[in-house]
Chains A and B, each alone.
Chain A
Amino acid sequence: MFLQQLVNGVALGSVYALIALGYTMVYGIITLINFAHGEIFMVGAFIGLLLVSYFKVNVFVAIIGAMIFCMIMGVLIELIAYRALRKSSRLSALISAIGVSIFLSSLALMVFGADAKGFPDGAFPVRQIHVGSADISTLQILIIGVSAVLMMALEFIVQKTKIGKAMRATSEDYSTSALMGINVNRVISFTFALGSALAAAGGVLVGVLFNAVSFNMGLMAGLKAFAAAVLGGIGSIPGAMLGGLLLGVSEVFGVAIGYSSYRDAIAFTILVLVLLVKPTGLLGQKITKKV
Chain B
Amino acid sequence: MADFLNSLVGSVDPYMLQILVNVGIAIVLALGLNVITGLTGQLSLGHAAFMSIGAFTSAMVTIKTGLPFVANLAVTGVVTAIVAAAIGFPILRLTGDYLAICTLGFAEIVKVFFLNFEPTNKALGLTVPQAKTSIPMPIYVWVVAILAIVLVTFVQNSRFGRALKAIREDEIAADAMGINTARYKIQAFALGSFMAGIGGGLYAHFLSYINPSDFGFLKSVDILAMVVLGGLGSVPGAVIGSSVLASAPEFLRFMSQYRMLVYGALLVFLMVFRPNGLLGGVNVTELLLRAIGRKPAGK
Residues in chain A within 8 A of chain B (CB atoms): 27, 31, 33, 80-81, 84-85, 88-89, 91-96, 98-107, 109-110, 219, 223, 226-227, 230, 234, 261-262, 264-265, 268-269, 271-272, 275-276, 279-281, 287, 289-291
Evaluate whether A88 and B260 lie within 8 angstroms (CB atoms) in the complex, with A80-B268, A98-B225 already known: no
**Which of B13-21, B150-158, B269-277 touches A?**
B269-277
Evaluate whether A272 and B93 lie within 8 angstroms (CB atoms) in the complex, with A81-B268, A95-B225, A103-B268 already known: no
| Cα distance A262–B123 in the bound complex, in angstroms | 12
Query: For the complex, is B5 an interface residue (Cβ under 8 Å from A)?
Result: no
- For residue B172, which residue of chain A has the nearest CB? A291
| Cα distance A109–B264 in the bound complex, in angstroms | 13
Query: For the complex, is B1 an interface residue (Cβ under 8 Å from A)?
Result: no
- For residue A272, which residue of chain B has the nearest CB? B105
Query: For the complex, is B244 an interface residue (Cβ under 8 Å from A)?
Result: no
| Cα distance A279–B102 in the bound complex, in angstroms | 10
Evaluate whether A91 and B101 lie within 8 angstroms (CB atoms) in the complex, with A80-B268, A84-B272, A103-B268 already known: no
Proximity string of chain B (261-286) to chain A, C-beta cutoff 8 Å, 1 when within and 0 when not: 10111111001100111000000000
| Cα distance A85–B155 in the bound complex, in angstroms | 31
Q: Would you list 19 pairs from A and B whose C-beta atoms are within 8 A, ordered by A residue?
A: A80-B268, A84-B272, A91-B37, A92-B228, A95-B225, A96-B272, A98-B267, A110-B257, A226-B101, A230-B97, A230-B98, A234-B98, A265-B108, A265-B109, A272-B102, A275-B101, A275-B102, A287-B95, A290-B172
Output the least CB separation between A18 and chain B (Å).
19
B271: contacting residue among A85, A103, A106, CB under 8 A: A85
Output the least CB separation between A264 and chain B (Å).
6
| Cα distance A265–B263 in the bound complex, in angstroms | 29
Structural contact, B271 and A110, CB atoms closer than 8 A: no
- For residue B90, which residue of chain A has the nearest CB? A276
Structural contact, B271 and A95, CB atoms closer than 8 A: yes
**Which of B60-68, B112-120, B124-132, B181-189 touches A?**
B112-120
| Cα distance A287–B264 in the bound complex, in angstroms | 34
- For residue B123, which residue of chain A has the nearest CB? A261
| Cα distance A116–B240 in the bound complex, in angstroms | 38
- For residue A27, which residue of chain B has the nearest CB? B97
The number of chain B residues with a CB under 8 A from chain A is 51
Main secondary structure of the interface of A (DSSP, over half): helix
- For residue B41, which residue of chain A has the nearest CB? A91
Structural contact, A85 and B176, CB atoms closer than 8 A: no
Structural contact, A268 and B275, CB atoms closer than 8 A: no
Which B residues are CB-close (under 8 A) to A107?
A: 261
- For residue B267, which residue of chain A has the nearest CB? A99
| Cα distance A107–B224 in the bound complex, in angstroms | 23
Query: For the complex, is B137 an interface residue (Cβ under 8 Å from A)?
Result: no
Structural contact, B264 and A99, CB atoms closer than 8 A: yes
Query: For the complex, is B9 an interface residue (Cβ under 8 Å from A)?
Result: no
Which B residues are CB-close (under 8 A) to A265?
A: 108-109, 112-113
Evaluate whether A272 and B109 lie within 8 angstroms (CB atoms) in the complex, with A89-B276, A100-B268, A291-B170 already known: yes
Query: For the complex, is B143 an interface residue (Cβ under 8 Å from A)?
Result: no
Structural contact, A261 and B115, CB atoms closer than 8 A: yes
Which B residues are CB-close (under 8 A) to A287?
A: 95
Output the least CB separation between A105 and chain B (Å).
8
| Cα distance A145–B263 in the bound complex, in angstroms | 40
Output the least CB separation between A32 and chain B (Å).
10
Structural contact, B98 and A279, CB atoms closer than 8 A: yes
Proximity string of chain B (142-168) to chain A, C-beta cutoff 8 Å, 1 when within and 0 when not: 000000000000000000000000000
Query: For the complex, is B100 an interface residue (Cβ under 8 Å from A)?
Result: yes
Structural contact, A279 and B93, CB atoms closer than 8 A: yes
Output the least CB separation between A290 and chain B (Å).
8
Output the least CB separation between B246 and chain A (Å).
15
**Which B211-229 residues have C-beta < 8 A from chain A?**
217-218, 221, 224-225, 228-229
| Cα distance A106–B256 in the bound complex, in angstroms | 12
Please list the 6 inter-chain residue pairs (A to B) with the smallest Cβ-Cβ separation, ordered nearest first. Answer: A99-B267, A103-B264, A88-B275, A102-B264, A268-B105, A106-B260
Structural contact, B275 and A85, CB atoms closer than 8 A: yes
A271: contacting residue among B102, B266, B275, B277, CB under 8 A: B102
A89, A96, A98, A109, most chain B CB atoms within 10 A: A98
Evaluate whether A264 and B271 lie within 8 angstroms (CB atoms) in the complex, with A106-B260, A106-B261, A219-B217 already known: no
Query: For the complex, is B106 an interface residue (Cβ under 8 Å from A)?
Result: yes
- For residue B100, which residue of chain A has the nearest CB? A33
Structural contact, B271 and A96, CB atoms closer than 8 A: yes
Structural contact, A279 and B94, CB atoms closer than 8 A: yes
A-B contact sample (6 more), CB < 8 A, given A31-B97, A96-B272, A279-B94? A96-B267, A99-B267, A103-B268, A271-B102, A281-B98, A287-B95
